[in-house]
Amino acid sequence: MNHVKRVIAAAALSVLWAGSAGAEQYVFALSWEPAFCQSHRKTAECRAESSASFAAGHLTLHGLWPDGGEYCQVPAQQRQDDEGHLWDRLPPVQLAGENRSKLDKYMPGTQSLLERHEWTKHGSCYSASPDGYFAKAVELATQVDASELNQRLANAAGGSVERDQLIEAVRRDFGDAAADSLSLICQKGALQEVRFVLNERIRRGGLDRDAFAGRGKKLCSSRVNVTAAP
């Protein structure tokens, strides 16, 4: 199952952030989908991708991951199915109409049932209901979508951009702490994911300047390639 590689990559890279001990923290992960699709063309979302797709010019939602908790009150068989990457066996995620349509827009991986995995492993430790969890994740994704960071990436698609320009764009929109908490993750020079370390303030609001915590890792070289959709 090709979509499994996205989850394996997330697990392998989860050590790339660190924050202050004792505080409730989260990793907020966004994907640059055209880069993901370069090596995952058989997934449903990548087969459907084109230059006209939303994901062609926008960072898309991978997940919102509470630190220190996974599979909260999840039945043993459901956890086993998730860990075995048998996402079609996981319970469907029931969302209100507007939440579902927004999630499908910002998380193209729903076409591969990514939301079932994200809720089972991570969302179950954030909220009592999928609506609360995914509404917050989409709210945060919407804020990044309206940012200079997203615009710079969209403008650079098919080319490259200076890493420091991306960092400074985050600083202008969200502040110094946001720039410090930022991780830029590249493979073979191409941007794969953007991640932020966040604190418990996101529960009461969005990406305000006090919502960022910890330090990210700038793993891309000084010049970042930005993959274009086919």
CA distance 144 to 110: 19
Q: What is the DSSP string of the chain?
A: -TTHHHHHHHHHHGGG-B--TTS-EEEEEEE-HHHHHHS-TTSHHHHH--TTSGGGSS-EEEEEEETT--STT--HHHHHHHHTT-GGGSPP----HHHHHHHHHH-GGGGGTHHHHHHHHTGGGT-SSHHHHHHHHHHHHHHHHTSHHHHHHHHHTTEEEEHHHHHHHHHHHH-HHHHHHEEEEEETTEEEEEEEEEEGGGGTSSS-TTSB-SB--B-S-SEEEEPPP-
Q: Please report which confidence band the pLDDT of residue 219 belongs to, taking 50, 70 and 90 as the band edges.
A: confident
Q: What is the pLDDT of residue 3?
A: 53
Cβ 211 vs Cβ 198: under 8 Å: yes
Q: Is the pLDDT of residue 100 over 80?
A: yes
Higher pLDDT, 22 or 86: 86
Average the pLDDT over 60-85 and give the result.
96
Q: Is the pLDDT of residue 64 over 70?
A: yes
Q: Is the pLDDT of residue 15 over 80?
A: no
Report percent pLDDT > 70 for the chain: 90
Average the pLDDT over 78-92 and give the result.
98
Average the pLDDT over 82-95 and give the result.
98
Average the pLDDT over 1-28 and give the result.
54
Average the pLDDT over 190-201 and give the result.
97
Average the pLDDT over 88-98 and give the result.
96
Q: What is the pLDDT of residue 7?
A: 54
Q: What is the pLDDT of residue 36?
A: 97
Q: What is the pLDDT of residue 8?
A: 46
Q: Please report which confidence band the pLDDT of residue 10 belongs to, taking 50, 70 and 90 as the band edges.
A: low
Q: What is the pTM of this model?
A: 0.90
Q: Please report which confidence band the pLDDT of residue 14 belongs to, taking 50, 70 and 90 as the band edges.
A: very low
Cβ 63 vs Cβ 118: under 8 Å: yes
Average the pLDDT over 39-52 and give the result.
95
Average the pLDDT over 66-86 and give the result.
96
Cβ 49 vs Cβ 37: under 8 Å: yes
Domains observed in the chain: 4-11+23-226 (3.90.730.10)
Average the pLDDT over 132-147 and give the result.
98
The predicted-structure confidence for 141-163, as pLDDT tens digits, reads as follows: 999 999 999 999 999 999 999 99
Cα–chain-centroid distance for residue 53? 18
Q: What is the pLDDT of residue 125?
A: 97
